[in-house]
Structure 1
Amino acid sequence: MNSFNLESLILLQQLEKVTKNDIATWGGVSLPTLSKILNRQKEAPDSLFERVSDNSGYPLEFFQRDTSIPPAYELTYRHTSRTTIQELNAIAAEYSLLSDVADTLAGKMNIKSKAGWIDQIAPKTESITHADIERLASLARQYMNLPAHGAVSNVTRALERCGIVVAPLHALTPDDADTKLSSDGVTHPLSNDELLSIGFKEDSNAGDRDRFTKAHELGHLILHKYRRLERYSEMEREAHAFAGAFLMPEDDAKTLINPNIMLSDFLQLKASWGISIAALISRGYDMNILSRDRWRSLYMQLSARGWRKTEPITVVKEKPLLLQQILQKEYGDKNGFIDSFTAEHELGIRFGYLDVWAGGLIEQGSELGYRARRF
């Protein structure tokens, strides 16, 4: 018999947001029988996995993988009381697959971690100060070979040069327009993979928000590698502060933001730094440059102009390249076409996920370069 993993059925259920009854139907068994199989009261025949594979479109190797899903509380996805269990499960399941695929590719291609510096600078004491966060953001720039001052020209590329896979997640970009997700990014600070991973929401969000999300998740990777705070909101506050400090260093903030700055002045700053007006105002307040009254006044003006929802000045979105380049090197040909069949079966994952994570892949045999998004 093949070494099929029962947990893969749960993983599939979470990824597809379906019920156990759906899995039973795909597998050609009754729900009571599936329950007994999952509870180890009855042995699962190979035919069950073969039928589920045929009906779900997942390669048979998916059901042989040993992917472990980290507990939701270990992931940095910001969840609220409105967050559904289904939402959390889908994001945790897809993120775990992304991490597993990235680590598998690293092993196949002998790619070694370039992010060991995170372990070196990650704080281990429970309590850290604002000054500590400023210092760690400065150190991160140093280890990432970024200038000490000035804007980060491309946050995504800076992360990828450190061997951090940055990928849009299907679960963070739901097909249902009515679904309101709680967060735009997710990572796993406790991970020891050769290639760390950051998942983000790929939609019409402005490029400035996209850049901040990725810097925010980098903050989690550093600040919460060895620290797990009792209040999740405090972890979020720290990561926000880190993102602000990483994107606009302390000396730059003190030079460019003054106590009497006008809302219109932030337009040029946004265009030059790739940071939203709202985040720049928060940065000024966090640095004690702006008083609470001035901070409140600027936010009221932001709301009055309708800029809380849609800000002026477009910041171009950054496109990840690392995972696409790795997949191209391992499974591509000289014309840029991907051997999707081999990739699916060697990695044990639907090609549609690889396509989404890599930002678009072209299959061998695709007519006119058809991009195979299979969701």
Structure 2
Amino acid sequence: MNGPQLDPGDVAALFDRARLRMARELRGLTQVQLAREVGSITAASVSQFENGHSRPATSTLRRLAVALRVPPSFFAAPARPPAQHQLNGFFRSLRSTSPRDRQQALAYVHLARELALELEKHVVLPDLNLPRYPIGEGEPCQSADIEQAAARVRDHWNVSRGPVQDVVRLLEINGTVVVRFRVSIEKVDAFCVDFPDRPVVALGADKGLRDRSRFDAAHELGHLVLHGLRGETRDKGTESQAHEFAAAFLMPAEDIRPELPERLDWPALLHLKARWHVSLAALLVRAKTLGVMSEHAFAQGWKALSVRGWRKVEPGPLGNPEVPVLLQRALELMETTGLSFADFINHSGLPEDDIRTLLGRDISERPRVEF
């Protein structure tokens, strides 16, 4: 067990400006709004605290903790390397996503990393086993390169031929943290942050479709495998590459090519959707990409998806999305050692309500009967 909580004077001495920014962004507040909430400081003071030019007094720290709904000990620097250089992540739809929403979502992902690192003090998490096949920035990229990268990842992870049983579980088994949460953030789709110790993949909880959620998870895996080593790049090219990777990872060419119909055959496509747990739209694109379906047949199918409203809600629902379990199971294992969740929260200094948000939103699947 960790030692007792720090007293306020010690927290002031160990003040970590990154923790203040994280707490503020968790609440979706600007520096001006936080100053207004606290009441006795200015936005300039908040800025100075966050950029390291000054430190808050003990009394100010108490008021900041109340305003931000975190324990005062949250502001103390953790005894590990900071992750300040990993602030951006791979986001989609940047034009429709406000900076405030992105910052709030990123703060939750940073908190997920903090939770994982705190848990590792008490339990052993899976080692990070993430193969990297980077695509050089500015260099031409062939689809064959991405197909090969996806095949190499499957081979590295000993994934047998055919459909991937559970993409989220596969990521977690190989040391990547996956979270699925609702924090009232609009227009933030799935994204990832490539922390060197524990990459985190965040999946939107509002997309309750198993097929699309699996594709999201494979898409973020594509970013980590292809682009992670060169930092965060947000453009149509990298998004297209991650999409190609996801399709190749979920539907390997040599396995699915013989099963795809040459003509538009909805019953056959629905059968493949149920077998591979991918969307009709993804199957159509894959059939065209692999040269099985002609451009004309694909165009007919794509138009039909739109006309019938299947671009939003497809027939053949596959059930609930895959559920991340790594953090929840790590906590349960920790409790078997005699350390309660309440004691863990108390000694870690992490904000309990936010940790419950990260964990509680993961449990969206119907209970499974175990024999």
* Shared fold, TM over 0.5: yes
Q: Give the structure-1-normalised TM-score.
A: 0.82
Equivalent in 287, 291, 302 of residue 290 of structure 2? 287
Instruction: Kindly indicate whether residue 177 of structure 2 is the aligned counterpart of residue 165 of structure 1.
Output: yes
Distance 1:332 1:346, change over 3 A: farther
Aligned equivalents of 1:36, 1:352: Cα separation in 2: 26
Which residue identity does 2:179 align to in structure 1?
A: A
Report if the CA contact (8 A) 1:271-1:313 is conserved.
yes
Equivalent in 93, 107, 129 of residue 115 of structure 1? 129
Instruction: Kindly indicate whether residue 26 of structure 2 is the aligned counterpart of residue 15 of structure 1.
Output: yes
Which residue pairs with 1:209 in the alignment?
212
Distance 1:110 1:151, change over 3 A: closer
Distance 1:255 1:323, change over 3 A: same
Aligned equivalents of 1:237, 1:169: Cα separation in 2: 25
Q: Within 5 A, what are the aligned runs for 1:137-176?
A: 137-147=150-160, 149-171=161-183, 174=185
Once the two structures are TM-superposed, the CA of residue 333 in structure 1 deviates from its matched residue by: 7.1
Gaps of 5+ in 1: 363-375
Which residue pairs with 2:101 in the alignment?
87
Report if the CA contact (8 A) 2:180-2:361 is conserved.
no
Q: Which has the higher contact order (CA 8 A, sep 6+)?
A: 2
Which residue pairs with 1:356 in the alignment?
357
Aligned equivalents of 1:33, 1:279: Cα separation in 2: 50
Q: Within 5 A, what are the aligned runs for 1:214-233?
A: 214-227=217-230, 232-233=235-236
Report if the CA contact (8 A) 2:269-2:283 is conserved.
yes
Distance 1:355 1:41, change over 3 A: closer
Equivalent in 294, 299, 303 of residue 306 of structure 2? 303
Aligned equivalents of 1:294, 1:58: Cα separation in 2: 56
Q: CA RMSD in A?
A: 2.8
Residue aligned with 1:308, SS: coil
Residue aligned with 1:200, SS: strand
Residue aligned with 2:201, SS: strand
Distance 1:106 1:75, change over 3 A: same
Which residue pairs with 1:31 in the alignment?
42
**307-316 vs 55-64, greater mean Cα deviation:** 55-64
Instruction: Kindly indicate whether residue 143 of structure 2 is the aligned counterpart of residue 134 of structure 1.
Output: no
Instruction: Kindly indicate whether residue 79 of structure 2 is the aligned counterpart of residue 64 of structure 1.
Output: no
Residue aligned with 2:159, SS: coil
Report if the CA contact (8 A) 1:16-1:90 is conserved.
yes
Aligned equivalents of 1:318, 1:32: Cα separation in 2: 42
Report if the CA contact (8 A) 1:4-1:49 is conserved.
no
Once the two structures are TM-superposed, the CA of residue 108 in structure 1 deviates from its matched residue by: 4.5
Distance 1:80 1:27, change over 3 A: closer
Which residue identity does 1:303 align to in structure 2?
A: S
Report if the CA contact (8 A) 1:69-1:96 is conserved.
no
Which residue identity does 1:9 align to in structure 2?
A: L
Once the two structures are TM-superposed, the CA of residue 256 in structure 1 deviates from its matched residue by: 1.2
Instruction: Kindly indicate whether residue 118 of structure 2 is the aligned counterpart of residue 104 of structure 1.
Output: yes
Gaps of 5+ in 2: 1-8, 364-371
Equivalent in 327, 330, 338 of residue 331 of structure 2? 327
Q: What whole-Å deviation, never above 9, does each CA across 1:221-278 have from its counterpart, x for those lacking one?
A: 1011234697611111111111111111101221111331323321111111110111
Equivalent in 216, 234, 238 of residue 235 of structure 1? 238
Aligned equivalents of 2:278, 2:18: Cα separation in 1: 42
Aligned equivalents of 2:55, 2:180: Cα separation in 1: 37
Q: Within 5 A, what are the aligned runs for 1:168-207?
A: 168-171=180-183, 174=185, 179=186, 181-183=187-189, 185-189=190-194, 191-193=195-197, 195-207=198-210
Q: What whole-Å deviation, never above 9, does each CA across 1:25-57 have from its counterpart, x for those lacking one?
A: 443413266347436665420111112223432
Residue aligned with 2:191, SS: strand
- The count of aligned residue pairs is 346
Aligned equivalents of 2:115, 2:156: Cα separation in 1: 26
Q: What whole-Å deviation, never above 9, does each CA across 1:130-160 have from its counterpart, x for those lacking one?
A: 111111111111222210x211111111111
Which residue pairs with 2:92 in the alignment?
78
Q: What whole-Å deviation, never above 9, does each CA across 1:301-328 have from its counterpart, x for those lacking one?
A: 1111111111111112211111111122
Aligned equivalents of 2:38, 2:336: Cα separation in 1: 33
Q: Give the structure-2-normalised TM-score.
A: 0.83
Instruction: Kindly indicate whether residue 258 of structure 2 is the aligned counterpart of residue 255 of structure 1.
Output: yes
Equivalent in 266, 269, 284 of residue 266 of structure 1? 269
Residue aligned with 1:226, SS: helix
* Seq. identity, %: 27
Which residue pairs with 2:366 in the alignment?
none
